[in-house]
Amino acid sequence: MRRTHIVFMIVLVAFAVVSCQQPASREIPQYTIEQFMDVKAIFGSTFSPDEKHIAFTSDESGIFNAYLVPVQGGETKQITHSDSNSVIALSFFPHDNRLLVMSDQGGNEIWHLYLREEDGTVRDLTAWEGARSTFEAWSYDDKSFFFSCNKRDSKFMDIYEMDIETYEPTMVYQNDAGYFLGDVSNDKRFMAFGKTITTHATEMYLYDRKTEELKHLTPEEEEVSYSPVAFSNDSKSLYYLTDKGREFKCLNRYDIESGEIETVYEADWDLMEAYFSRNEKYRVVGINENARTVIKVADTKTGKQVNLPKLPEADVTSVNISRSEKLMTFYVNSSRSPNNLYVYDFETKQYRKLTDSMNPKIVLEDLVDAQLVSYESYDGVRIPAILYKPHRAESGVRVPALVWVHGGPGGQSRIGYRATIQYLVNHGYLILAVNNRGSSGYGKTFYKMDDKKHGEADLGDCVEAKKFLTGTGYVDPGKIGIIGGSYGGYMVLAAMAFEPEQFAVGVDLFGISNWVRTLKSIPPWWEAFKKALYEELGDPATDEERLHRISPLFHADNIRRPLMVLQGANDPRVLKQESDEIVEAVKKNNVPVEYVLFDDEGHGFRKKENRIKGYKAVLDFLDEHLKGEGE
């Protein structure tokens, strides 16, 4: 079985190619949020069976829908037409132009799988009330696909196989232990599973459908991460990522009959992904190299690397090789312009750009390049960060700044175009996106540094970022705020409550205010991951005192600086109540508080009209309370 490789990130970002930094002497125009949101966010790719077209996902219509573009280039065509809920293109069927797509309701993350027929009609293939379904992969014989669904028990994602002629699903594995599926062998005999134990330890299992034996492949006591990624074409080997005995993840191969293990590929950074083309002609690995994505494509017989296009200051990401192994799609991205889809011909060694996502009214030279920096924290640990410096700071002008905190816990700020960041920088704000201790991508030692120290050790790294910013000489030390989403939103609230004199303002995007409630209200389909969260953050049944201590809601009387909160009413991860209550609590302090609530959004804002409203409100808030009127 070969997975359809979909970069599924409903985010407010896109990527592309950059040009040289513009001299600071030129007056840089300020662009509106409407202009920044007129940039298309696109991701994913799937080849039509005849390999003449590619389907992908774009928010060109104002909300994510499926689009089609010819392989030879030309006009893109919208092929789903939702105006209320995002529709994500997953995969063409193997031998016809039927298309699998997925959608939820208002951002509730209860995904259903839909069939778009060749005539454009759409039907729900998983229409079970309250059940969440996610696509896994096609069977190698092209007669069915595998998917996960929690219709039997809301806490566990069972594995089903759906016949693509009858659309009748059959349960092939009842998943009472909270495993996640890695792959199914081409002969359908073996299934590889992972099981999350902690955020640092993942076990791996091999299930033999013929003998019904489940073999535990990783019985050691130590904390090791394992992630099964693919079976070999002959179904005799299993490939997996692991950090066993090392700081960073590598790609290993396990021989099913002998049990022998060999390392296939390793780098000085974490491998994020690995897969093989349909007939195993090419191996693709993705490396998380210092907050950038580095893709390596190799011919499996010769070991020779495929020479991917080298574009100035740009990364190649999201590689997808066609079934014939003659073509390959990929995205090109950078910090200054949005994702664009390309296609590469292995025979001619030529590539072609298929999309143009940037708003032509925005001049790339008016935007800024991301700069990789680092600084020493309170205990000597070096903290990596990404700096976005306004052009006017080049002239010695001291500018206001924001410490930007990513989501997670355990996420990472990475190089790439973020419309919100470029919008704020374009309007005069320096952004420092910190990868505080506990961030992924810098080895497992760094990743573990904030365990059961959240809102304390990691918050200290954000506070220390102020010293770095002040030391640059072009940041006004009295005008430094903090901004973040999800876990980053929690860090904003923690900074405002526990370090109330450090930051001039805070902007919280759907952040946790009460860890006790949040950890008790984890969505049922996260049951398999709940124990790992409890291990890292604390179990509300036994650690309530500490969780109470690090929850900003219970210390809201300390918040004395202006605060802004944005929230989606349908958010299943950070409940609306989290934002409602912190806003009401801070209002009692007679502190300026602004609250923007979207009734039709979940965890993150997908609709352009909402992003326009929300981020325009953020800029207005910052202009009033951080930059100051008249500047």
DSSP state, residue 131: -
Which three-class secondary structure state does DSSP give residue 403? strand
pLDDT of the residue at 219: 84
**Nearest residue to 480 (alpha-carbon basis) of 429, 437, 436, 435:** 429
Structure confidence by residue, pLDDT tens digits, 505-564: 999 999 999 999 999 998 888 888 888 888 889 999 999 999 999 999 999 999 999 999
Q: Are 510 and 490 in contact (CB under 8 A)?
A: no
Domains of the chain: which residue ranges? 33-353, 368-627
C-alpha distances in Å from residue 514, one per residue of 337, 455, 553: 37, 12, 6
DSSP 509-578: ES--S-HHHHHHS--GGGHHHHHHHHHHH--TTT-HHHHHHT-GGGGGGG--S-EEEEEETT-SSS-HHH
Q: Which two tokens stand for residue 239?
A: 């490939």
pTM of the model: 0.93
SS3 482: strand
User: In terms of Cα–Cα distance, which of 187, 188, 196, 192 is closest to 170?
Assistant: 188
In degrees to the nearest 10, what's the CA dihedral of 199, 203, 204, 209? -110
Residues in the chain: 631
Tokens representing 75?
């006009």
Q: 434 with 405: CB under 8 angstroms?
A: yes
pLDDT the model gives residue 209: 97
Preceding amide of 360 cis, omega within 30: no
| CATH number of the structural domain 33-353 | 2.130.10.120
The CATH label, of 2.60.40.10, 3.40.50.1820, 3.40.50.80, 3.40.50.620, for the domain at 368-627 is: 3.40.50.1820
Q: CA 7, 10, 14 angle in degrees (round to 5)?
A: 75
Distances (CA, A) of 31 to 135, 366, 399, 417, 426: 39, 9, 18, 16, 7
Neighbours of 177 (CB within 10 A): 12
Longest CA–CA span in the chain (Å) reads 75
Helix locations, 295-451, DSSP H: 419-426, 444-447
Closest to 367 measured CA to CA, from 42, 141, 82, 29:
29
Q: Terminal CA-to-CA distance of the chain, rounded, Å?
A: 59
481: closest CA among 627, 630, 616, 629? Answer: 627
Residue ranges of the chain with per-residue pLDDT less than 50: 5-24, 630-631
pLDDT value for 25: 52
Cβ atoms of 538 and 546 within 8 Å: the answer is yes
Let me know: does 40 contact 375? Beta carbons within 8 Å. Answer: no
Looking at residue 23, what is its pLDDT? 43
Q: Letter for the amino acid at 126?
A: T
Return the percent helix, strand and coil in the chain, to nearest 5. Answer: 20, 35, 45
Structure tokens given for 182: 């890695």
Q: 595, 423, 599, 393: which is closest to 506 by C-alpha? A: 595
